[in-house]
A and B are shown apart, each in its own frame.
Chain A
Amino acid sequence: ILNVEQSPQSLHVQEGDSTNFTCSFPSSNFYALHWYRWETAKSPEALFVMTLNGDEKKKGRISATLNTKEGYSYLYIKGSQPEDSATYLCAFNGRGNQFYFGTGTSLTVIP
């Protein structure tokens, strides 16, 4: 069992603020890192799949970076909107077939 840590655990921001969260994972035997968005009463939805050190992905106002050598990924949200309120999960895949999820960062955007 591997340790995937996300910080902060929860975050409240004002509408229009930019914010970022961290996902830390083992730096050895890296294969892929996923980010998911999970709205209340729904299922997690894939945001990004990142495989290469230095990867940067972007979808609208949300972007992510990856550093496999030091074992972390950042998720950024620019100009947060109330509809961005959700839990953001990261999942680490090493060389095996198992994915290990972090406990998530719960984001609340206050109008």
Chain B
Amino acid sequence: NAGVTQTPKFQVLKTGQSMTLQCAQDMNHEYMSWYRQDPGMGLRLIHYSVGAGITDQGEVPNGYNVSRSTTEDFPLRLLSAAPSQTSVYFCASSREKGTLYGYTFGSGTRLTVV
């Protein structure tokens, strides 16, 4: 049982480049979300999805796109990377809104934009 798998673990991008952070879960969880973690800021929600085909914005969605074509996958796209997007990114999933079971987090992707 792999849980939540994030790839890559580390990435360095140049300003203006694009990339996709991958997130996959094998627990048949309906709810998936992306957070970024910055020093002194805690975890901030970027985008989330309550099921395949349904996505919505979180607190800090600008500069990021998501899609949810299957229950298992929830990729996060950076269209034109900026230094302000340097952060650690976590994907999390839950059976539903997390009310009873809590979230399962991936191991994180450390992104540096130069």
Interface residues, chain A, CB within 8 Å of chain B?
1, 4, 31-32, 34, 36, 42-49, 51, 89, 91, 93, 97-104
Contact = CB atoms under 8 A, between A and B. Distances in A.
A89 B99 contact: no
B43 A101 contact: yes
Q: Which 10 A-B pairs have the closest CB atoms?
A: A46-B102, A43-B105, A103-B42, A101-B43, A32-B99, A101-B42, A44-B105, A49-B102, A43-B107, A1-B59
Contact of A97 (B40, B59, B97, B102): B97
A43 B45 CA distance: 16
Contacts of A98: 45, 48, 58-59
Given A97-B56, A98-B59, A102-B42, A49 B100 contact: yes
Nearest to A44: B105
Contacts of A42: 107
A93 B97 contact: yes
Contacts of A51: 99-100
Contacts of B59: 1, 98, 100
Interface of B: 31, 33, 35, 40-45, 48, 50, 56, 58-59, 90, 97-108
B49 to A, nearest CB: 9
16 contacts: A1-B59, A31-B97, A32-B98, A34-B103, A36-B103, A44-B105, A48-B102, A49-B98, A49-B101, A49-B102, A51-B100, A89-B42, A97-B50, A98-B58, A101-B42, A101-B44
Contacts of A89: 42-43
Contacts of B107: 42-43
A45 B106 CA distance: 10
Nearest to B107: A43
B40 A103 contact: yes
A47 B101 CA distance: 10
Nearest to A4: B42
Nearest to B45: A98
Most buried by B among A93, A99, A103: A99
Contacts of A36: 102-103
